[in-house]
Structure formats: structure tokens, C-alpha cells
Amino acid sequence: MKQSLVLLMVALLCGAVLGTAVAQEGGTLTVFAAASLTDAFEEIAVDFEAANPGVEILFNFGGSSTLAAQLSEGAPGDVFASANVRQMQVVRDAGVIEAAPRTFVRNQLVLITPADNPAGITSLRDLASPGIRLVLAAPEVPVRAYTDVMLARAASLPTYGQIFRSAVLDNLVSEEDNVRQVFLKVALGEADAGIVYQSDVTPEAAEQVIAIRVARALNSLATYPIAPISDSASPELAQAFVDYVLSSGGQNTLARWGFVRVD
């Protein structure tokens, strides 16, 4: 009996020591995040890792619809940050996320042209001109959903006319898997114009394109939700990352990259 008790105490002690060692060593966190978050989240990861020695953040950036499909099909991950509520709901419906998502940032749309602006575009209205080569994200990508809402709003106004939306879409030459690919095609001069988020026009990228603001009355305010994944291998670490993104430090970083903070 005494021998069994001793063995049990040793086992518990070893388990406690091992648990402490694992906690001290940190761990790896896999974050599925919308492509538009690339720059801001990479900076956030540096800060989070510095505050949590031994922790490594791995990102899977892409179109939110693609990420939602991957997670719904069983891809392992710890956190999902979507560029719209719809794709977050897809993941929740699949049972991958149980916790209530939190809105952590917002974004706005901008019209971009190549730096030399060969088509002479100066406003949203010009996208309906014949011969304009327009590139947008694919229909299932959040930025495209926001774009479609914006075009529908414009078409409802007499100053644009009911055929505005159809005239714009007649100029569509390419549909991309995510917003960063839209930006790249325009920056390379493969299209005359595109619609991206204002956060995509980073200080470094600003020299590659001309960004044209869209009137607030027409613009769509993009809402980004975030949540830990239910079967995360590191649930406490996943929640800590979500909390940091929502903190003043995370919000400051997002604001520096052109997002609209929510705190």
C-alpha cells in the first residue's frame, strides 16, 4: 500500500514538472486569417511571441471562403479570423467553432488603379466606361460581397443609374481568389482598376497604385470576426491570441495598417 502511494506521488510529481516545462516552452499556434490581415497580423505575431517566450505563431493566409472550407473539412488550426461574418458562420455551422466570435476590426473599400493610371480613372463612376479592364475578387470572397453591395447602392441612385452595376460587371476581366491577388494584378498593370480594402494600400505598396476613395454613403464597412477553434490543441494560447488582438496593443497595430479599430 505504501509502495503504491509512493509511486502515485512520484507520477504526480513528474506530471507536474512536465506540465510546467511544457508551459515554459510555450507552443505553436496556427492562425487561419483573411489575406487582408497579412501585414498587421505578422506584426502582431512578433509582439505576441515577444510577450510569450517559446510561442510560435504560424499563419495560413487566404480568402476567407477558402479558409472556411478548409476548416470545415477538418484542417487543424487554433484561431480563425475572417473578413466577414458569413464565412465565420460557415465554420460555426460545421461545428468547428463553438465560442461566440468577436468583432475585432473593420475595414473600408477603395478603388485602385496602376500608378500610371492608363485609363484615366478618377472616380467609381468611371468603372462603367466601355473598355475598362476591371479585376475583382471572386463572388465567394468577402471583399467581393462588400463590393457588390457598394455597386448596388450606387445603381439605386439617379446620379449613377440602374444599369451602372451591370455596366461595371461587363468590364470584368478577372476574378481572383483573394484581395491581395486583386491588388497585385492592378499594381502590375494587368488591369485598369480593382476594388480592395484600404488596408491593402500599405505605405510600401502605395507607390505601386493610385488609391481613390469611395464616398462614405456608398462604401461598405467590412466587419472582421475572430474566434478560437473548438478543438484547438492549445486552447488557452488560442484565447490569449484572440485577447491580444482585441487589446489596445493589437488595435494600435491594426490601425497603423489602415484598419478601423473597434476598442
The gap from C-alpha 254 to its chain's centroid, in whole angstroms, comes to: 11
pLDDT at 123 over 90: yes
Query: Residue 203: what pLDDT?
Result: 87
Domain that holds residue 24: 2-104+224-261
Report in angstroms the alpha-carbon separations of 17 from 52, 57, 107, 237: 19, 25, 46, 19
Residue 25: per-residue pLDDT: 53
pLDDT at residue 133 in the model: 98
Q: Do both 198 and 118 map to the same domain?
A: yes
Instruction: With CA atoms as reference, report the closest residue to 98 among 223, 235, 222, 234.
Output: 235
Mean of all residue pLDDT scores within the chain: 90
**Alpha carbon distance 10, 132 (integer Å):** 75
Average pLDDT score over residue span 152-179: 96
Q: Is 262 exposed, middle or buried (0-12, 13-18, 19+ CB in 10 A)?
A: middle
Contact predicate 151/195, CB 8 Å:
no
Helix (H), strand (E) at residue 92:
helix 85-93
Confidence of residue 206 (pLDDT cuts 50, 70, 90): confident
Residues 83 and 177 in one domain: no
With 70 as the cut, is the pLDDT of residue 183 above it? yes
Q: What is the pLDDT of residues 5-38, one digit of tens each?
A: 333 333 333 333 333 223 335 799 999 999 999 9
Q: What is the CATH number of the domain that holds 162?
A: 3.40.190.10
- Beta strands 102-107 and 209-213, pairing class: unpaired
**Domain tally for the chain?**
2
Decide the pairing of beta strands 55-62 and 27-34.
Answer: parallel
The pLDDT score that the predictor gives to residue 251 is 97
